[in-house]
Amino acid sequence: MAKKPFLTAMWFIIFAAGVALIFLFNVGMGSADITVPEILRIVFGGADQSETGYLIIQRIRLPRALAGMCGGAALAIAGFLLQTYFSNPIVEPYVLGISSGSSLFVGLVMLGGITFGFQRITPIFLFIGAFIGAAAIMLIILFAAVRVKNIITLLIVGLMAGYVCGAATSILSTFAEREQLANFTMWSMGSFAGFTWLHLKIMYAIVCPMLLLSFLMAKPLNALNMGDKYAQSMGINVKVARYSLIFISSVLTAAVTAFAGPVSFIGLAVPHICRIIFHTSDSRILIPGAILGGAFMASLCDFAARNILSPADLPLGAVTAVIGAPIVVFLLTRKEKL
């Protein structure tokens, strides 16, 4: 009994160390390498604000690195919650079409000029559009869930909704002006580049409370894993718990999609990796594990996207698939052999 808690603690330490290490790489490495002492001096206010290193870190690399950590944690938890809700390990926001719904409404803002009463496009404005799109797709899936009990059918409904949103976005792109289309194309490739401190503050203000709520739902999630009847016998309001899962996952997906674009695979891969590594289905362990794992995975992929063909940035979604897919396949095949 003592061995398993020790291994769990060891993996948490490894994850935390990995996040810290890749954070330093993201802040310090690039077209201009900056040493760790210089990074610490700049971050903690001991550097001249006119220094080149200060400008690179404070205006470009530090916001991007922090955004990658936050976005990865959000996507991993959104995927974990949806996999729990649907009792299916292949579910994630991208697969269910939630990211496509967010992309469509962001496209309506960026390409269609829809303002919802706002005078200009602001970060909050983009989040509102992304959340409306995510919520709309989830409502469609929930409506289908009332009539259809088969999980595979619900997944197909989500996929079809995603295809419809993708088609609508393509139609918008056809009639958009060239400059708007260029901006939207760059956004749709997925990237944590271009984050400002304002974007970062808004993203953290949205994501952090949702991550806390997801952790507070760990016990209800464990009960739901045992079935609705068991959860009801434990005094849990199943309907409220499930709607809470949908709300939290939609907000997390919208927060990342609004600012970083659609990023696939992290929400699918990280919960899988955590279940295999920790050898448990206990949400009290998997939720913090997914937060750290998502932060590490997104940061690692962003580091690769930024540096492999520097100074050009690769699409983040492509990098997440290339890096994450082999890891999941390896862990799954290794698990089968044990």
Q: What is the pLDDT of residues 284-328, one digit of tens each?
A: 999 999 999 999 999 999 998 888 877 778 888 788 878 777 776
Is 74 in contact with 211 (CB distance < 8 Å)? yes
Percent of the chain at pLDDT exceeding 70? 89
Question: Is 294 part of a structural domain of the chain?
Answer: yes
Average predicted confidence (pLDDT) for the chain: 82
Residue 2's pLDDT band (cuts 50, 70, 90): very low
pLDDT-wise least confident of 50-64, 103-117, 157-171, 210-224: 103-117
Assign residue 265 the CATH number of its domain. 1.10.3470.10
pLDDT-wise least confident of 3-7, 58-62, 106-110, 216-220: 3-7
Question: Is 264 part of a structural domain of the chain?
Answer: yes
| Mean pLDDT along residues 261-275 | 86
* Structure confidence at residue 1 (pLDDT): 40
| Mean pLDDT along residues 33-56 | 71
Domain count, the chain: 1
Question: Is 10 part of a structural domain of the chain?
Answer: no
Query: Among 245, 93, 259, which residue's Cα sits nearest to residue 162?
Result: 93
pLDDT of residue 43 exceeding 90:
no
* Structure confidence at residue 49 (pLDDT): 62
Please report, as a single letter, which amino acid is at residue 204: Y
Question: Is 2 part of a structural domain of the chain?
Answer: no
pLDDT-wise least confident of 1-10, 14-23, 127-136, 274-283: 1-10
Higher pLDDT, 98 or 290: 290
Query: Among 22, 92, 30, which residue's Cα sits nearest to residue 257?
Result: 92
Burial of 96 (0-12, 13-18, 19+ CB in 10 A): buried
> Which residue shows structure tokens 């068991």?
230
Interatomic CA distance for residues 306 and 285, integer angstroms: 32
Question: Is 14 part of a structural domain of the chain?
Answer: no
Question: Is 327 part of a structural domain of the chain?
Answer: yes
pTM (two decimals): 0.85
**Measured on CA atoms in the order 206, 240, 93, 250, is the torsion positive or negative?**
negative
162 phi/psi in degrees, rounded to 5 = -65, -40
Question: Is 185 part of a structural domain of the chain?
Answer: yes
* Structure confidence at residue 338 (pLDDT): 47
Question: What residues have CB less than 8 Å from 270, skipping those under 6 apart?
Answer: 72, 75, 76, 79, 80, 290, 293, 294, 297
pLDDT of residue 41 exceeding 60:
yes
Higher pLDDT, 147 or 233: 233
Question: Is 160 part of a structural domain of the chain?
Answer: yes
| Mean pLDDT along residues 238-253 | 85
* Structure confidence at residue 46 (pLDDT): 62
Task: Note the maximum CA span of the chain.
Answer: 63
For 140-165, write each residue's pLDDT tens digit: 877 777 777 666 777 788 788 888 88
Domain that holds residue 307: 20-337
* Structure confidence at residue 12 (pLDDT): 94
For 179-192, write each residue's pLDDT tens digit: 777 777 777 788 88
Residue 335's alpha-carbon distances to 275, 297, 330, 332, in angstroms, are 11, 20, 8, 5
